[in-house]
Amino acid sequence: MVHGSGEWEDQTGCISIPIYQSATFKHKGLNQSTGYDYSRLQNPTREELEKTIAKLEGGKEGLAFSTGMAAIDCVARLLKPGEHIIISDDLYGGTYRLFEDVYKVYGIESTYVDTTDLEKITMELKDNTKAIYMETPSNPMMKVSDIGKISALAKEKGLITIVDNTFLTPYFQRPMDFGADIVVHSGTKFLGGHNDTLAGLLVASREDLIEKLRFTQVSIGATLSPFDSWLILRGIKTLAIRLEKQQENAKHIALWLKNCDAVEKVYYPGFKEHEGYEISLKQTSGFGSIISFTVKEKKAIGKVLEEVEIVTFAESLGGVESLITYPYLQTHASIPEEIRNRMGVTDKLLRLSVGIENVNDIIYDLSKSLN
């Protein structure tokens, strides 16, 4: 992680890859190219990031986009009108909005399924099903899907398996080791790690998929800028130490929340009683630092969000600063209320992204409003 792809060299001996802030590149003559023509097509800084994330995930190639949603949009364009995709029913609201409000218009069918249940997935398969898309752990209910079993089912049926690995990153989870074809990241989150840039990343394990994804990437043009590529590369250098500290903090905070009188239930895969605990032990090397929890009384929501000082009330997650979010009205507002309530994304749910601050300071900050 610290040294990136290991493929980049420069005669100057730079330790940090330069930011190639150039829109276009000089040709020496007709049919002569350095390999770089125009930065929408490729840029040396972005290329280093793409090689780095591919190496970390164990895939053939990576692709970097201007946002996480641009990366998911590129995946969605693998589907043709009349084709069908199965998607985790507990997922980021922006992903739901993309498939329901954008691609549904173009004839792409979507079915939302509890992907922790292989039987339910099997029951929803159709003749026109082409892919299975899952978040694991899911956002925000922290449900864990068995990547290996789902990938095996998909291969048997000739389907593409897509895994959103934003919450754990390749440091804690490598979906391709369990058969996934495409891995998705919002690089804005843990990979960047500092809440200072937007980015999306894809990694693919199959040449046929890479060719299609790359064509869409350069045709649509939502590619990551050189400077933002450099910021994500810089973030990846400290990914391991950040995630270890954030997870250590999260374990203490999750246990404290579990014993807090104002809290009704805590959703954290690191608890042995969590439904996905055994699967997590099999396919991950860590549980991450995202915790969701419900409070017993709705009035506590406003109190927490207004009174926290060290923890920041803001959308997003994965940065060094602890952030708390109200999914019901923020990240999942685009999902119909009936579905939100069924999934557990109620008006009493909060999602906490644990940062690297002193854990006692975080707990004290939360206790002021919860106790």
Q: Is 177 a catalytic residue?
A: no
Residue type for 72, please? I
Q: Which among 14, 15, 33 is positioned nearest to 24, based on CA atoms?
A: 33
- Active-site residue, from 77, 143, 189, 340: 189
Q: Where are the beta strands (DSSP E) in the chain?
A: 61-65, 84-88, 109-113, 129-135, 160-164, 182-186, 200-204, 263-267, 290-295, 312-313, 323-325, 349-353
- Active-site residue, from 20, 89, 92, 133: 92
Q: Is 117 a catalytic residue?
A: no
Residues 6+ apart with CB under 8 A from 108: 76, 79, 80, 81, 83, 84, 85, 99
Q: Is 106 a catalytic residue?
A: no
198 exposure class (CB count in 10 Å sphere: 0-12, 13-18, 19+): buried
- Active-site residue, from 164, 181, 228, 365: 164
- Active-site residue, from 40, 206, 258, 303: 40
Cβ-contact 254, 271 below 8 angstroms: yes
Q: Which among 19, 42, 35, 25 is positioned nearest to 218, based on CA atoms?
A: 42
Q: Is 36 a catalytic residue?
A: no
Give the catalytic positions in this structure. 40, 92, 164, 189
